[in-house]
Amino acid sequence: MIATPVKTYTPKEYLELETKSTIRNEYRNGEIIPITGGTPTHNEIIGALTVILRLALKGKPLQVFVTDQRLWIPERQIHTYPDVMVVPRPILLQEGRKDTVTQPVFIAEVLSNSTKNYDRDEKFADYRTIPSFQEYLLIDPSKPHVERYIKQSEHQWLFIEYESLDDRFMLSSIGVEICLADLYENIEF
């Protein structure tokens, strides 16, 4: 059997298609990959984290973005849509674009069965190429479990995990305290 070659696109071609698309797509080294929708639990957690961040960051020079905000990772030639990210103001955009941010400080992903390995490995490696990126949260929607990665130096990240609804921690990159009970409020396990 002969394998059919995958069509590749330039970043410019991707952006032209993406602005007309009715669904979100990631761009990874020439490939366009459709992004599937999340579950109600996935969306509830994103909503809770967004509220926590927006309230805590009010009046600070930081902007919270959720799901539909495109991120450009130039070193890897990737356009992606993190679940939640925080970027400093003034917001730096990809050159020639008004819809694509470039310098997140904090990113959070809510895990799913289909993306958890990708979010932990390849996607995290991609994010680490962004010089401004300082902190990463991976949130399990099926039980109280948060994985936190904090940049210590260029090639060193500290890993901490939280597994109790009573757990609290401070996001050092943006100065926001998170309580797992607030993050998982209204979630039935």
The CATH number linked to 77 is 3.90.1570.10
Q: Which residue has the higher pLDDT, 3 or 91?
A: 91
Q: Which residue has the higher pLDDT, 55 or 23?
A: 55
In this predicted structure, what is the pLDDT of residue 1?
A: 61
What does the block give as tokens for 172? Answer: 């050092």
Nearest residue to 142 (alpha-carbon basis) of 39, 49, 35: 39
- Across the range 63-74, mean pLDDT stands at 96
- How many domains is the chain partitioned into structurally? 1
First to last CA, the chain: 45
Radius of gyration of the chain (CA): 17
- Convert 119-144 to b/e letters by CB count within 10 Å (16 or more is b): bbeebbebbbebeebbbbbbbbbeeb
Residue 147: inside a domain, yes or no?
A: yes
pLDDT at residue 2 tops 90: no
> What digits encode the pLDDT tens for the residues 92-103?
999 999 999 999
Residue 116: inside a domain, yes or no?
A: yes
- Cα separation values, 75 from 4, 137, 142, Å: 28, 22, 33
Supply the pTM of this predicted model: 0.94
- Across the range 7-28, mean pLDDT stands at 92
In this predicted structure, what is the pLDDT of residue 6?
A: 77
Nearest residue to 65 (alpha-carbon basis) of 139, 80, 74: 80
Domain hosting 104: range is 38-183
pLDDT at residue 178 tops 70: yes
> What digits encode the pLDDT tens for the residues 116-157?
999 999 999 999 999 999 999 999 999 999 999 999 999 999
